Amino acid sequence: MTPVLILSGILFAIGVFGVLTRRNAITMLVAVEIMMNAANLNMVAFSRLYHPELMTGQVLAVFGIGVAASEAAVGLALILTIYRRYGSTDVDRVDLLKG
Amino acid sequence: MTASDVLFIIFGVIAAACALYGVLTRYLLRSIVALGAFLTAVAGEFYLLAADFVAVVQIFVYVGGIVVLMLFALMLSTSGERQPLAGSDRRGLGSLLAYVLGGMVVWATVGTRLPVVPGRLPASVPYLGRALLGGQVFAFEVLGVILLAAVVAALALVRSERL
Amino acid sequence: MGGLLVAIPLTPLAVCAVLLVGGAYLRLTGAPGARGVAADVGTEIGPGAGTIGDPRAAALRVAAGWLSVAGVLAALVVGVVALLAFRGGAEVALSTTWFRVGYLEVPFSLRLDGLQGLMVIVVGGVSVLVHLFSVGYMHGDRDVVLYFAELSLFSAAMLLLVLADDFYVLYLAWELVGVSSYLLISHYFERPQAAAAGKKAFLTTRIGDVGLLLGIFALVWLTDSLEFHTVFAWASGPGLPGAWRVAVPLLIFMGAMGKSAQLPLHVWLPDAMEGPTPVSALIHAATMVAAGVYLVARTYPIFAAAPEALTVVGWIGALTALMAATVGLTQRDIKKVLAYSTISQLGFMVTALGAGVPAAAVFHLFTHAWFKALLFLGAGSVIHAAGRQVVDELGGLGRRMPITALTFAAGALSLAGIPPFAGFWSKEEILGALAGGHPAFLAMLLAASFFTAFYVSRLFFVVFLGPEVETAAETETEAPVRESRAVMWLPLAVLASATAAVGLWGAGFLGYPLQESLGLEEGGTSVGGPVWVTVVAVALGLAGISLAWLAYARHPARVSAAGEDAAGSAPAGAPARVGPGRPAFDARLEDSLGWTYRLVDNGYYLDALFGRCLVAPFVGVAGFLARAIDANLIDGIVNGIAWLVTGAAGGVRRLQSGQVRDYVAAVAAGVFVVAALVIEALR
């Protein structure tokens, strides 16, 4: 099982890199999905470890996918609203909270 | 080195490569397509981990739904550019944290003695079904509500002012 | 019976409250802007202008005076009733515990006995007459309602002071009296001199008050009680320990020095003449300044136990008496002459206290109140009618103001100590007592008596006799000077009759009814001294008057500012008139005495001395503290803290970049830290 976990770790790292690096909001979301999948992979891997008949990890993964779907929907809706407001999806432009 | 191991390696490499490409490329469209490929590879991994239902759900929802959604959003937010581009910066900080977090996970994994995993179970669907509608039914229902809320929220956010 | 005593100070206090509330309601008191059109307040008599057109306001202005007269009259009546009850044998006292602080019970005690009853008569009587006089004098003044409120407050406070039977009430009333004096002196506060005079009075007496307060503290600490009878029993019996025996009376005397204007705390009294003349009559002649003398007389048991303290008291009194009498010779302002005269006469009283004859001192206080108030009110009558108060500009008023002149003469004779006027009897008491054992004091006071007779006669001759003085303004516009209204000359008449008759009350051949009733101990020689003292004193008095006659009445020439003899226009057949100018004798005196004259004229430069040695350094230190310490250091610290905070905030603010990716990075870093901790913990 170790290789799976290492794989998920690597994928997670790639996701982090992507979130911190990309300027476009949609590609940030792409990176976020990468991270989420890495986590799902991890959970599914672990579901085989203890009481595999309960499928806890897989249940979590399913829920994760469901939640990811809603989050992507709302997130993209937000991105569109921001695009309408600012004329661009560059996250660096949206800095209203700047102190 | 069994067949599943080989497949595991293949899917793993594809997943990592697609993820990297998706994160590094300047072409937005390709970034999203790379995401789609990545998700498919991960679905393959799921299958190899005896989570066949999860794999199928992944394909349906993620690749079939979310990626399409992203494509639509991309189309709507790039004001008709033929080839939308977006660069990336702050590579230094990004890679630092990536290495740190990834390294931490790897180190934690490697340093832990994991018990031996038992053999494959038969198809996971019955067990999954029992779990979802049995022990975890409450969360299941809540997930439905979340999805409903998300639909409503997305609608509320994107409707135009006049309506 | 004791409950009645509370009514005595309470009635005028109630009047004060009513006037203040009513005045505030009608916007007659309070901020200057609320009082309507500003009147010219350069002179003592400002033409009135207030809230124009409000009939209630006009009614209040008229009512204010009469209301306050009623207040003090009621207090006086109650006082007389109480005094009769006391004479009838009752004990008229009131004593309750006001509150407790720790182990100390703070009492509220009032009493009316011989001494205190006498004081109530004096204070109440003079107050009524002055309030009445003020109705006429202050008519049309812009702040008349406030004036009467303050006057009533003063009367209430003074009455409370003389009724006090414990140190707490005494000090409370003492301070109240000081405050009302300050308020009244500064009545024309838009005049900078008046405002400064009020401050000076308050601060100078404050110095004395500190001494009094320390004395009270010492007494409480030593005897655990604030009640008079307890403290006096202590003082006469076991006595105060060690150095306190002398220190406490001296501290108390400091308070007396301040309020009764003794050397060196006398400098406020001449300046206090900036206040309206009725105020000068009431407060600075008859009552407040007498408070110091009363204080010592009341607490005499403490003094009697310390002859060393009494010596100090006596010397201060004698020096004051002599010094002030000399300064009074040269003053040109009527009120200043009378002010120095008051200081001098208070010195007489204090000397008597120091010589061990408090009864004689109180007797002189009694008579002085009447004739000094008379003199001041007479001066007020003159000032009100003529519009000016400097001797250079006044003359020949006897013809036009006969009542004022006559009553003034009565007061002057009393002050000079000529029988049968009251001043003679009381002065003779004091001088007689001194003859026995205090030759130095006697000599000084005799000299002072001579000067006293001289300067008061000078005042009378120059102002009321001789040719009339016309000023440039008068020839053009004003109506001729006339006798004052009845409201004003009636009190004068009453006081004149009083001063003629009242002295007999303390006369020897009537058995000293007054002194007996006081119940004061006699520590020195018996009252009623050798005859030769009386003869010498009267002779000196007559000599003073005659010399003044020669100097001022026989040759009433004037020297105008240009140095020539002044002459004025004189319509044919009318009495001679001259232009304004100094009396010729004064000018010749200055020429011959030179710097001595100027030294005396300037009050021995004591004011200047205080200014340079005390006030200036103090102001300098205060200025330094204000600038260097307060502005730089303290403000610097406060501002510095603010600067630090804003700086820090500014720095921290930069964390809020508004950039999503920065926040994500922060979260990632946080995740790392938490995860590392968890992993470590699980290992």
Flag whether pLDDT at C537 surpasses 80: yes
C45 confidence band (pLDDT: 50, 70, 90): very low
Contact C488, C133 (CB under 8 A): yes
In this prediction, residue A14 carries a pLDDT of 93
Closest chain A residue to the Cα of B90, Cα to Cα: A21
At C450-468, the pLDDT tens digits run: 999 999 998 888 888 877 7
Cα(C285)–Cα(C273) distance, integer angstroms: 11
Q: Which residue of C has its CA nearest to B109?
A: C679
Q: Chains near C, with 3+ CB pairs < 8 A?
A: A, B
The predicted pLDDT at position C39 comes to 36
Strand pairing of C577-578 and C468-469?
parallel
Contact C580, C558 (CB under 8 A): yes
Distance from CA of B101 to the nearest CA of C (A): 6
The answer to whether the predicted template modeling score (pTM) of the entire model surpasses 0.80 is no
Mind telling me how many Å the CA of C672 is from chain B's nearest CA? 6
Domain ranges of chain A: 2-91
pLDDT single digits (tens) C149-207: 889 999 999 999 988 888 888 999 999 999 988 999 888 888 888 888 888 888 888 88
What is the pLDDT at residue C38?
A: 34
Cα C150 from Cα C180, distance rounded (Å)? 6
3-state secondary structure C251-290: HHHHHHHHHCCCCCCCCHHHHHHHCCHHHHHHHHHHCHHH
- Which residues on adjacent β-strands are paired with residue C561? none
Contact across the interface for B127 and A89, Cβ inside 8 Å = no
pLDDT by residue (tens digit) across A49-91? 777 778 888 899 999 999 999 999 999 998 888 888 887 778 8
Of A19, A91, A98, the CB nearest to C656: A98
Question: Does the structure show a pLDDT above 90 at C111?
Answer: no
Residue C350 confidence (pLDDT): 92
Does the beta-carbon distance from B97 to A17 stay under 8 Å? yes
Distance from CA of A32 to the nearest CA of B (A): 10
Distance from the Cα of C672 to chain A's closest Cα (Å) equals: 12
pLDDT (average), residues C352-377? 87
Angstroms from C657 CA to nearest CA on chain B: 15
Q: Do C527 and C359 touch, CB atoms closer than 8 A?
A: yes
pLDDT at C32 over 50: no
User: Which of A35-39, B93-97, C204-208, C563-567 is predicted with the least confidence, judged by mean pLDDT?
Assistant: C563-567
**Of B90, B101, B111, which is closest to C668 when you measure between CB atoms?**
B101
Segment among C49-63, C76-90, C231-245, C329-343 with least mean pLDDT: C49-63
Q: Does C679 have pLDDT greater than 90?
A: no
Interchain pair B76, A66: CB under 8 A: no
Instruction: Convert the pLDDT of each residue in C199-229 to its tens digit.
Output: 888 888 888 999 999 999 988 888 877 788 7
CATH number among 1.10.645.10, 1.10.1270.20, 1.10.287.3510, 1.10.490.20, domain A2-91: 1.10.287.3510
Are C669 and B104 a contacting pair at CB < 8 A?
no
- Average pLDDT over chain C reads 80
Q: What is the pLDDT of residues C492-518, one digit of tens each?
A: 888 888 887 777 666 655 555 566 566
- Neighbours, chain B (3 or more CB pairs < 8 A): A, C
Residue in B closest to C669 by C-alpha: B97
Pick from B90, B93, B108: CB nearest C679? B108
Q: Do C659 and A91 touch (CB under 8 A)?
A: yes
* Residues A5, B28: C-beta atoms closer than 8 Å: no
Of C11 and C572, the one with more pLDDT: C11
Q: Do B45 and A83 touch (CB under 8 A)?
A: no
CA C504, CA C181: separation in Å to the nearest integer? 32
| Residue, of C577 and C236, whose pLDDT is higher | C236
Better pLDDT: C42 or B111: B111
In which band, very low, low, confident or very high, does the pLDDT at C527 lie, cut at 50, 70 and 90? very low
CB contact under 8 A, A95 and C657: yes
The arithmetic mean of pLDDT across residues C528-532, rounded, is: 68
Q: Which pLDDT band, with edges at 50, 70 and 90, does C479 fall under?
A: low
Per-residue pLDDT, C239: 73
pLDDT of residue A39: 94
C397-402: long-range contacts (C-beta < 8 A, 24 or more apart)? C397/C463, C397/C464, C397/C468, C397/C481, C398/C464, C398/C465, C399/C468, C399/C575, C400/C468, C400/C480, C400/C481, C400/C482, C400/C483, C401/C464, C401/C481, C401/C482, C401/C483, C401/C484, C402/C483
Q: Which residues of B touch A62 (CB under 8 A)?
A: 53-54, 57, 128, 132
Q: Give the pLDDT score at C571.
A: 46
Res C528 pLDDT > 70:
no
Q: Does C100 touch chain A (CB under 8 A)?
A: no
Q: Is the pLDDT of residue C115 over 60?
A: yes
pLDDT tens digits, one per residue of C620-675: 888 888 777 777 777 788 888 898 898 888 888 877 777 788 888 889 889 889 98
Which residue in C653, C659, C668 is closest to A95 by CB distance? Answer: C659
- The gap between the terminal CA atoms of chain B, to the nearest Å, is 61
Considering chain A, what percentage of its residues have pLDDT values greater than 70? 99
Chain A hits for B38, Cβ within 8 Å:
34, 37
Percentage of chain C modeled with pLDDT above 90: 9
C135 pLDDT exceeds 90? no
Q: A91 and chain C: CB distance < 8 Å anywhere?
A: yes
Q: What is the mean pLDDT of residues B28-52?
A: 91
Tell me the nearest-neighbour CA distance from B99 into chain C, angstroms.
Answer: 11
Instruction: Choose which CATH entry (3.60.15.10, 1.20.120.1200, 2.40.50.140, 3.30.465.10) describes domain B1-86.
Output: 1.20.120.1200
Across the interface, whether the CB atoms of A62 and B15 are under 8 A apart is answered no
Judged by DSSP in three states, C100 sits in strand
The pLDDT confidence band at residue C42, using thresholds 50, 70 and 90, is very low
Contact assignment for C676 to B104 by CB distance below 8 Å? yes
**Nearest CB neighbour to C658, from listed A16, A28, A96:** A96
Contact B23 A1 (CB under 8 A): no
Tell me the mean pLDDT in the region C118-134.
Answer: 88
Q: How many CB pairs under 8 A join A and B?
A: 243
Between A6, A16, A44, which is nearest B98 by CB? A16
User: According to the model, what pLDDT value does residue C573 have?
Assistant: 44
- pLDDT band of residue C35 (cuts 50, 70, 90) is very low
3-state secondary structure of C105: strand
What are the pLDDT digits (tens) for A6-54? 999 999 999 999 998 888 888 899 999 999 999 999 999 888 877 777 8
Residue in C475, C483, C460 with CA at minimum distance from that of residue C577: C475
Residues of B in contact with A48 (CB under 8 A): 49-50, 117-118, 121
pLDDT for C569 equals 47
User: How far is C335 from C597, CA to CA, in rounded Å?
Assistant: 19
CB contact B108 to C (< 8 Å): yes
| pLDDT at site B32 | 93
Q: Which chain C residues have a beta carbon less than 8 Å from that of B97?
A: 665, 668-669, 672
Long-range contacts of C230-237 (CB under 8 A, 24+ apart): C231/C167, C231/C299, C231/C302, C232/C299, C232/C301, C232/C302, C235/C301, C235/C302, C235/C304, C235/C305, C236/C301, C236/C304, C236/C305
Prior bond to C402 cis, omega within 30? Answer: no
Is cis: bond before C420, omega within 30 of 0?
A: yes
pLDDT at C579: 66
- Which residues in chain C are closer than 8 Å to B93, comparing Cβ atoms? 665
More confidently predicted of B83 and C345: C345
Chain C residues touching chain B at CB-CB below 8 Å? 661, 665, 668-669, 671-672, 675-676, 679, 683
Q: How far apart are CA C134 and CA C151, in angstroms?
A: 10
Of C209-223, C391-405, C600-614, the one with minimum mean pLDDT is: C600-614
Beta-carbon separation of C668 and B108 below 8 A: no
Yes or no, beta carbons of A77 and B74 under 8 Å apart? no
C672 to B90: CB separation less than 8 angstroms, yes or no = no
Give A52 to chain B, closest Cα distance, Å: 8
pLDDT digits (tens, 9 = 90+) for C367-382: 888 888 889 988 888 8
